[in-house]
Amino acid sequence: MAVVSTPATLEHAVPVMDNAEVLRIRNDFPVLNQLVNGQPLVYLDSGATSQNPLSVIEAEQEFYEQRNAAVHRGAHHLAVEATEVFEDARQTIADFIGADYAETIWTSNATEGLNLLSYALSNAGLWAAQGRGDQALRGLALKPGDEIVVTEMEHHANLIPWQELAFRTGATLRYIPIGDDGSLRMEQAESIIGPRTKVLAFTHASNVLGIINPVRELTALGHAVGALVVLDACQSAPHLPLDVKELDVDFAVFSGHKMLAPTGIGVLYGRQELLDILPPFLTGGSMITTVTMERAEYLPAPQRFEAGTQRISQAVALAAAANYLTETGLDRIHRWEAELGQRMVAGLEGIPGIRVLGPAAGRERIGLAAFDVEGVHAHDVGQFLDSRGIAVRVGHHCAQPLHRRLGLTATTRASAYLYNTTDDVDRFLEAVAGVRAYFRA
């Protein structure tokens, strides 16, 4: 099972967060202190993009005010300082996820990280065909007859890159189906993941269902057949303790903008021994050792995958965000969000005409709930809630196959974070209770 502490196991392990503490935390987030349509903002769209605390905003501002320079390229004072804080940020993020320094690669977001990985794997086939690389590299090359396995609940970012990898290599894409409650059909997973599986990619926590998947069980199935295991940690890294070594995955990705950091920064984790043999995806400056007019030799990871000028200020800000979460306590954040998630689901289930996706009240989930309002389109629901100062996400949440499996085209999603109170959830529930009457559904 995934390394996740449930509310029950956390009860006596860490101090409990409460509304009073959350209200103090909210003071760190300037954007939350405003009126929307004449009412105090209730921000329940952190599953899409979280807000930034002052410490993160100030970290990025301080970089531009005091240290702005290109990293790894200059011997002058500012360049040295910029390089130091940039690489210190890498170490901070490596520690945050239980990885080693050289296993932590900067990307623009998780989507880029997954594309980087899929193209690196297809480049492995090209290199192998031309006699470049060793036997270990050739073992990573995909070919017709090989299989890539995902799940039916994946975000498009963890589906389309693998579709395209299958197209480029002739491999076959397969998926583990879900049951009516949204959980993975693990009995089918055991038969789908087999000797031909070269890549197994799945989400740690669903951005629609709120389900936390059994990472260890899936990883064991993948490794038993020699597959590479790729974890989409976008909805887990910001919300619960994440240790990639303990989970035993080969690669993992997450985005900064979902965990209190700016947009434009993400992370790809990969095992050192795999990163050092994979061909790069983007090529150019800063990731080479020797260049002639005919060919180039590449640095080991992490620079091997970081061509060109990097996201320096954003990396510094992401490290500040990780520190903020660590100081608050991810165990505590997870427990508080689990409480908010249960409050959301239980309240929604009590409103006539509401269908909640994913686990029912009382079952473990992260602090989000996607739901359908009978007779009212999700976009109308979102606009109704916005008129009352409540920000939620509407649409298919970049998970069309999942919605199609559940017989829906769009849903409304409320997602909480460490700065949300029980009053926020109650205001949201009170507003949702009025939707069908307003639209005369």
Which of the residues are catalytic? Answer: 398
Are 259 and 234 within 8 A, CB to CB? Answer: no
Q: Where are the beta strands (DSSP E) in 42-108?
A: 42-43, 104-107
Q: Which two tokens stand for residue 277?
A: 């043999």
Give, in order, the Cα–Cα distances in Å from 68 to each of 82, 253, 276: 6, 27, 30
Residue appearing with tokens 């409050």? 343
Q: Is 359 helix (H, G, I), strand (E, B) or coil?
A: coil
Residue 215 CA from chain centroid, whole number: 14
Q: Cα–Cα distance between 260 and 53 in angstroms, integer? A: 7
What single-letter amino acid sits at 413? R
d(CA 90, CA 108): 14
Assign 23 to helix, strand or coil: helix
Instruction: State the residue for tokens 């977001």.
Output: 109
Encoding tokens for residue 38?
Answer: 């004449």
Torsion of CA 401, 407, 408, 413, to 10 degrees: -80
Q: Using the structure block, give the residue that is written with the tokens 């990705």.
A: 253
- Other CB atoms closer than 10 Å to residue 226's CB: what's the count? 10
Contacts of residue 62, defined as CB under 8 A and 6 or more positions apart, other chains included, come to none
Provide the 3-class DSSP secondary structure of residue 231. strand
Q: Which two tokens stand for residue 338?
A: 């689990």
In angstroms, the CA 235 to CA 367 distance is: 10
Two structure tokens written together for 291: 């260049």
Cα 20 to Cα 30: distance, rounded to the nearest angstrom:
18
Which DSSP string do the residues of 231-287 spell out, in sequence order? EE-TTTTTTS---HHHHT-SEEEEEGGGTTSPSS-EEEEE-HHHHTTSPPSS-STTS
Token pair 């202190």 is found at: 33
State the Cα–Cα distance between residues 337 and 268, nearest whole angstrom: 25
Which residue from 187, 163, 173 is spatially nearest to 114, judged by alpha carbons? 163
Q: Do 369 and 350 meet the contact criterion of CB atoms below 8 Å apart?
A: no
